[in-house]
Each structure stands twice: as C-alpha cells, then as structure tokens.
C-alpha cells in the first residue's frame, strides 16, 4: 500500500541540464531518512519543462537507485492521453511500482472525458494508478462519482487530493471505502486529512524534512492519545515550513531550502525563477524554527 510520507521529488539542474549525480544523492538521502515512497517527475519535479527524454530518464534513475527499497510512483500525467499512455507504459517497463497521473490541464474535459482519459491509460498498462486531482493547476475538478467509476477499473487505486476540501475526504471514504487510497497533496492540511480517512501525503516539504514528515505521518494515522499528541506537536513544527514552501510558485522555495541544506542547487527552469530576497528570509527562518538549519 502506498501510504505515509511520499516525497514529490525535486529535479536538480546544473547549467539548465539534469544534474544526475545530485539527483542520485537525493534519492539515497530519502532512503536513509525515513521517506516512505518516491514520486519523481511530478509538478515539484518540474515535469512541465522536462523534455520527453529527460522525463523518462528521471523516472529510470529513481527506479534504478531506489532498487526496491522504496516504492516509486512515477509522474506520468499529460493533457494528451496518448502522451500519458506513452509515459505510463514506459514507467511500467522500467520497473516503477505505479503511476501518479494528473487530471488533464488546459483542455477542460467533462467528467466523461476525464473518465475516458483514465480508462484509456488503465487499459494500456498493468501498474497501479493514483489520480492526481488538483483544480488549482488543472482548472478541472474530478468528482467523487467519477472517481468511484474509475475505482471499478483494474489499476485505479487512489487519489492525491489537492483540492484543499477536507469534506471531500469523508465523502470519498463513504462512497469508495477504505481500500481506495487517499493521500493529501496539501502538506498544511495533512493532520486533519488523515483524521478524516487519509493514509498519507505526497509531500513537497518532505524534500527538506523527510524524517520529520515521516514521523508525523506515522503518528497521525494512529488513534492512541500519545500518538495524537506527537502528531500535533510535529504538525506545529512543520507548519512554518509548509507555509514557506508556497510563498512563491513551487518548487522555487523548496529548491532554495534544499540549497541552504546543501542538498541541491536552487536552479529552476523558465518560466519559473529563483525566489526573491524576501522569500529567502521566510524560508531561512522556517528552517531555523524547525531546527533544520
């Protein structure tokens, strides 16, 4: 089961090229520091500006270096169904454990269009698929009813919910049951998300605080009083970090934080740019408050 703290991996660049050496170090950093799963080539991995070969290479390196130690759910979504199928079948071929597939952005398909998009990908592969529902970036919002239809298919296993609507968690649980995996895509609501039926997160903050995020996730799904207290304590520590990571467009802030922690450089690809001096101070203060710097 894909649960707990799963990192939405950044893609490090050097001179605007994929920095393979640093990327490999990042993967092993997460293996050693409690991360529960790896998600390469997602939004945080700057997938919109990776060319096709780079996209596949990022996934291949992650699968190879993780070597079965952690599950790899590859970001293989696209607003072209054909391209999403190509990326997903490639991920399956090279050994990814599953795929994270974002709802098609810009096209604005209907709910039936969403269903047919995911069904086509489902019918073309044999690995588990997690739906990535993020209306803030893709404009469209997949309904619970559409997810219920998709859950009847062989490969659809869950959702990364970045709607920010906590009521959706209970609605989804009631309609689809506990076997449908619910992961939050919003670090800041992870505590309440799990209390309502979620089982983890695909996290931006985990890039820089993997151990804290992993411990938080572990405690947040336990029901005993001590675990609840520990989860709340860790959530309070993590909230300033969560906030700082989204002061500007993701992943610019988290890459700057990673630079301060000597994990990777803060280079991003246009149209993204490095964070402002004001944001740098916010990020630095959040790292200091969390005792990471």
Residue 210: strand, helix, or coil: helix
With cut-offs at 50, 70 and 90, classify the pLDDT of residue 156.
very high
Residues 6+ apart with CB under 8 A from 197: 169, 170, 172, 173, 178, 182
With cut-offs at 50, 70 and 90, classify the pLDDT of residue 234.
very high
* CATH number of the domain that residue 114 is part of: 3.20.20.70
105 counts as catalytic: no
Whether 126 is covered by a domain: the verdict is yes
The counts of H helices and E strands in the chain are: 12, 10
Compute the distance between CA of residue 187 and CA of residue 239 in angstroms, rounded to an integer: 8
Q: Supply the pLDDT for residue 291.
A: 96
User: Which residue reads 């209306």 in tokens?
Assistant: 135
Mean pLDDT of all residues in the chain? Answer: 97
Closest Cα partner for 188 from 149, 241, 132, 151?
241
CB 43 within 8 A of CB 78: no
Q: Supply the pLDDT for residue 53.
A: 97
CB 106 within 8 A of CB 79: yes
Instruction: Give how many domains the chain has, as a whole number.
Output: 1
Whether 184 is covered by a domain: the verdict is yes
CB 268 within 8 A of CB 289: no
132 counts as catalytic: yes
User: How many Cα atoms within 13 Å fall on the side-chain side of residue 178?
Assistant: 0
H-only helix segments in the chain: 20-32, 52-66, 81-93, 111-124, 135-138, 144-151, 167-176, 190-195, 210-220, 225-244, 252-260, 277-289
Which among 23, 115, 118, 132 is annotated as catalytic?
132
Whether 205 is covered by a domain: the verdict is yes
Which among 3, 23, 57, 160 is annotated as catalytic?
160
Whether 183 is covered by a domain: the verdict is yes
Which domain covers residue 141, as residue numbers? Answer: 4-213
With cut-offs at 50, 70 and 90, classify the pLDDT of residue 1.
low
Whether 134 is covered by a domain: the verdict is yes
Q: What angle, 0 to 180 degrees and rounded to 10, lies between the N-to-C axes of helices 252-260 and 277-289?
A: 60
Whether 239 is covered by a domain: the verdict is no
Q: Supply the pLDDT for residue 223.
A: 86
For β-strands 13-14 and 17-18, DSSP reports them as antiparallel
Burial class (CB in 10 A: 0-12, 13-18, 19+), 141: middle
Rounded to the nearest 5 degrees, what angle is found at the Cα of 47, between the Cα atoms of 61 and 84?
Answer: 90
Q: Is the pLDDT of residue 215 over 70?
A: yes
Whether 149 is covered by a domain: the verdict is yes
Write out pLDDT tens, residues 240-288.
999 999 999 999 999 999 999 999 999 999 999 999 999 999 999 999 9
Whether 263 is covered by a domain: the verdict is no
Q: Is the pLDDT of residue 140 over 90?
A: yes
* Phi, psi angles (nearest 5°) of residue 221: -100, -5
CB 160 within 8 A of CB 100: yes
């Amino acid at each position: 089961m894909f649960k707990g703290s799963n990192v939405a991996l950044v893609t490090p660049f050097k001179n605007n090229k994929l920095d393979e050496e640093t990327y490999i170090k990042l993967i092993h950093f997460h293996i050693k520091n409690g991360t529960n799963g790896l998600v390469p080539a997602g939004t945080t991995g700057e997938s919109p500006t990776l060319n096709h070969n780079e996209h596949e290479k990022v996934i291949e390196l992650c699968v190879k270096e993780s070597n079965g130690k952690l599950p790899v759910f590859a970001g293989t979504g696209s607003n072209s169904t054909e391209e999403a199928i190509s990326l997903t079948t490639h991920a399956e071929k090279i050994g990814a454990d599953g795929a994270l597939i974002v709802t098609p952005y810009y096209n604005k398909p209907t709910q039936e269009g969403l269903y047919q998009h995911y069904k086509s990908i489902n019918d073309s592969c044999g690995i588990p698929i997690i739906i990535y529902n993020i209306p803030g970036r893709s404009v469209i919002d997949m309904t619970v009813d559409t997810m219920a239809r998709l859950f009847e298919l062989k490969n659809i296993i869950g959702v990364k919910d970045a709607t920010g609507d906590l009521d959706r968690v209970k609605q989804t649980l009631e309609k689809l049951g506990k076997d449908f995996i619910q992961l939050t895509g919003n670090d800041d609501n992870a505590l309440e998300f799990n209390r309502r039926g979620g089982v983890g997160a695909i996290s931006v903050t985990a890039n820089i605080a993997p151990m804290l995020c992993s411990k938080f996730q572990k405690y947040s799904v336990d029901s005993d009083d001590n675990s609840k207290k520990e989860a709340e304590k860790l959530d309070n520590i993590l909230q300033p970090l969560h906030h700082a990571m989204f002061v500007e467009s993701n992943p610019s802030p988290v890459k700057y934080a990673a630079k301060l922690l000597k994990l990777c450089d803060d280079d991003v690809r246009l149209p993204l740019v490095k964070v402002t001096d004001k944001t740098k101070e916010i990020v630095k203060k959040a790292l200091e408050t969390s005792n990471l710097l």
